[in-house]
Structure 1
Amino acid sequence: MRILIITDAYYPSRAACAVRMKVIAEVLRTFGHDVQVLACDTSLVSAPIGYQWPDYVHFFHVAEMGEKTVVNRLRNNLSGSMGAVKAANELGDFDAVFVTSPPLLMTRAAAKIAKRKNARLIFDVRDIWPDVAYEMGSFTPGSIYGRVFSRIANSAYDAASLITTVSPGKAEKIRARLKVDTSYKVEIIANGLDLNFVEQECDPAVEERFELDEGPICTYIGNIGLAQGLGRLLDLAKSRPDVRFLVFGDGAEKASLEARAEKEAIANVRFCGLLDSQGVYTVLRHSAVSFVPLVNSNLSDSVPTKMFEAIGCGCPVLLAAQGDSVRILDDLKLGIAAAPEDFDQLRAALDRLVDEPFSAERVAVARKRVAESYSRQSEAEKLAILIDEICRR
């Protein structure tokens, strides 16, 4: 079959979405399908010098986001939708169009492309919009943004032949929004560990640059935005001055967090910028704790990908969350979870992880289990079978 994947981010971007889509595309190709990928050109911002992408990957231009206001986000997303439609016109016909969200507006482009090419539409939901915006307090159901995004989401649910999502909680929410006789369309294709990630070697230059042999180290790696609630990391750093806190990434909240750390003289926090995949692997292999936070307990159906990468590297997780991600961490048994709002529990969990390290045997068992039971590759194989089924109906 010919399958078109439409995504906001793709390799060489290190965004969780980019990694998810890269694994899906590669697995679908191993099944013998002709896979073409359309992605925003912002994916190339951190590309290595001289990087040449595969000929089945195509990048289209989007307006720069700049400050992440609602207006700028809409402008960026609308330009991406138009760019995707234009780029798809040059790629011929398809049997299936697979689109991942957010951004939700990209689904409008995908539905239009699928209709033009008489293809099945597959809607991959990583975060449920606008629900996640309500949960973070960004806007309310009665607002114009809430009404518009709800209409777009419902239209995509109706148009899709298959709806995939990443956790049981999200699947339950989506089914509740569908017509009773279409809930069968929802399937879970979970987030997980990219097995290629843990096959790397440590980078000596990264070890030296960040003095990774001087610990203990608590690491955060990922987007520094509203959904992460990284103010808690600064609170934890103030309570444990003997622990080094290394923050890797970028995002809307980075400047304010840096300003607070400077104002409050939190000397054991270091903002370290971006890392490539090998750098992430290296840091996690040397860290005593990986801090994996969500801003509040409302995001109970979210499962941060960084948790799988940390455990795959043998790094215990301090998870500030409730719900689906806690159940997975309980299964993997390499970390402690606490509610994001409960600082005392988070502090006690950090103390325990730093002062009472897991045994080498426990770490080895967890690394093996996450690779065997929570890999992106096995989930992508499940997706390949589902796509084959819906296209042959």
Structure 2
Amino acid sequence: MRLGWLTLLIPLLIACSSATTVPRERATGASPNGTSAPIGTTLTVESGEIDRSQLPATARGWATDWSRRTIPLDELMSGGPPRDGIPPIDAPRFELVLESDWLEDGQPLLLFEHDGVARGYPLAILIWHEVVNDIVAGKAVAVTYCPLCNTALVFDRDVNGTRLDFGTSGLLRYSDLVMWDRQTETLWQQATGEGIVGAYAGTRLTLLPASLISVGEFRAAFPNGELLARPEGGLSRYGQNPYENYDSSERPFLFTGTTDDRLPALERVVGLVIDDEAVAYPFSTLAEARVINDEVAGRPVVLFFSSEARSALDQSRIAESRMVGSAIPYDPIVAGRRLTFRADAAGFVDEATGSRWDITGRARSGPLKGHGLTPLPHANHFWFAFQAFYDEIRLWSAK
């Protein structure tokens, strides 16, 4: 795999990053369950032929149907590599987490569960590949990570009866990964799951619940869990971070939008969208509260925060990076009863029964032991990335 260009590109990105133009269109919300469906009136398919010379040079020979689009094409920019120059993983291998010893407990991974199977996808691998086409207990999924936005999301690959295989297009929009599918060469916005150019323009991928936690938390919660293994014949750099000190910078790479100054651009937030309400929960607030009981679009939610996960975008070795934590929103209704939670020194406790819960939403002791909370689709974005794609974001505050 030829990824040497990436380590050469990062200093150039730092020098060239800017924030100049205003986003023209944004998403208006998402179902909490996710659907492959039209995405609403704010993103309208525009038909019409184009002058291919106006496209990024790397895209001019593609079979993408450029006449179908929901965005102005000048919002697309080359991130440097060609299509699949950051190679997706198409035949992932897994190892039992308790048999894997190359990852330190604090390293972050993306947890995805389906039908009794729990898999962890270390950011130490995703940072070099960005897309994994996987099948988990019969469900075809795309596991995705955009390092520039810190956005880790899992999507259903089955769309309107067709199974899609995804890759990296080499293009960015508002600093976010633009994916492509090999079946139709549609371009997809990773942060929202929306088809933006091509046959599926105007369709949203089903977003599935997935959560960033630490390797140690994954080991404790899922002793039989499966961990994405390093690809055979792959890089020797797994565990290294090519974006050294990125999340300590004041401005994002290759971002051509405006930033909302209510938070620093690279502050981490839990971005939660239910129906037409988008809410951002800043990590700076979550770290103090540790538990937030809230309502979004009239639905109860609870967020748990854990301090045990490291940044993947800090030091050159992820194992030496600072702790930034992780946060997960859940539906707090269990057995028909809405629970209210609080944090104590040992973890999370529901006030109704005194049962004790862990970061993965499982009751480990007490009357509700064995029960689990349902995670809600979300992401731990950088603030600039979340606010670039959603209007009228409510910023949660303890006041």
**TM-score, with length taken from structure 2:** 0.25
Task: Identify the structure with the greater helix proportion.
Answer: 1
Q: Which has the higher contact order (CA 8 A, sep 6+)?
A: 2
